[in-house]
Structure 1
Amino acid sequence: MLKKRKTTVYALGQYLSMSAHKARRVIDQIRGRSYEETLMILELMPYRACYPIFKLVYSAAANASYNMDSNESNLVISKAEVSEGTIVKKLKPRARGRSFPIKRPTCHISIVVKDISLDEYIEVDFLDPLRWSKKLKSKKKYTAMAYHNMYSNGGVWDKK
């Protein structure tokens, strides 16, 4: 029997003080790219939104190396999305006792990183008697499954 293996990790940044529209401008450039290429792009882009996104991508890679023991050269940004957060409202005092509203938008950014070197499925034999004994543990067998290429089917560019 085949069992699905976890190959993705994520990093989440909430209530970042920037507009979701301006963050999407940067996120659209890095979606579907490799980890090393993403870091180069974010360092060279002239937008203010690049630094918090850079920190999130770096954090997602650190999560992948700690949780899955994966190499950073095998990581790909499989999913990156921006959603609008709450709007912080303030009042600025103006002339003649009036006030003027100031609206500071926030956004939530999630970065999902996938390790392309790991197989997605592992073979599990439920009828193996060694698997059920507490003294001996059976080793996991990896199958030679066909690698699912995310660039060939256009899955990265489907924005629905």
Structure 2
Amino acid sequence: MNNNNSSKATNKYLRLSPHKARRILEQIRGKKYNEAILILNFLPYRSCKTITKILQSAYSNIISNTTTEIDKNQLIIKKAFANPGPILKRFKPRAQGRAFPIRKPTCHITVELENI
């Protein structure tokens, strides 16, 4: 499980599609912390800002949970995944009294850092 060399951060019920969040997480999985932050800063997607905050939270967790000095260059992203959350269901009024369903997906994003 979590030892002194790893830490994780989770954000739940985000109003992002899990499919779109996974597209970003695949880009940073296995990369070093500094490299991942740099990649997220230059990708043009909306979910990058949220994923950056989760990554910084995981870094903050590993700093507060260890007594030794942690180097940002020695941290790699061990796990990064997005699970689907509950779907908000709405209806859009259409012509002639019809209603079309609208599905607003949510997701839970988890990022785990490990000190190598």
Scaled by the length of structure 2, the TM-score of the pair is 0.88
Question: What pairs up with 1:3-42 in 2 under 5 angstroms?
Answer: 5-42=3-40
**Deviation sequence 1:77-122 (CA, Å, 0-9, x none):** 1111111111110112233333221110111111000112xxxxxx
Q: RMSD between aligned alpha carbons?
A: 1.4
State whether residues 20 and 106 of structure 1, in contact with CA within 8 Å, keep that contact through their aligned partners in structure 2: yes
Find the counterpart in structure 2 of residue 89 from structure 1. Answer: 89
- Describe the SS at the equivalent of 2:114: strand
Find the counterpart in structure 1 of residue 53 from structure 2. Answer: 55
Q: Which runs of 5+ in 1 are unaligned?
A: 117-160
* 2:32 partner letter: S
* 1:39 partner letter: I
**Deviation sequence 1:125-160 (CA, Å, 0-9, x none):** xxxxxxxxxxxxxxxxxxxxxxxxxxxxxxxxxxxx
- Describe the SS at the equivalent of 1:50: helix
2: distance between equivalents of 1:61 and 1:10? 8
Moved over 6 A (4+): none
State whether residues 55 and 111 of structure 2, in contact with CA within 8 Å, keep that contact through their aligned partners in structure 1: yes
Which one has the bigger helix percentage?
A: 2
State whether residues 4 and 65 of structure 2, in contact with CA within 8 Å, keep that contact through their aligned partners in structure 1: no
- Describe the SS at the equivalent of 2:16: coil
1: distance between equivalents of 2:73 and 2:106? 32
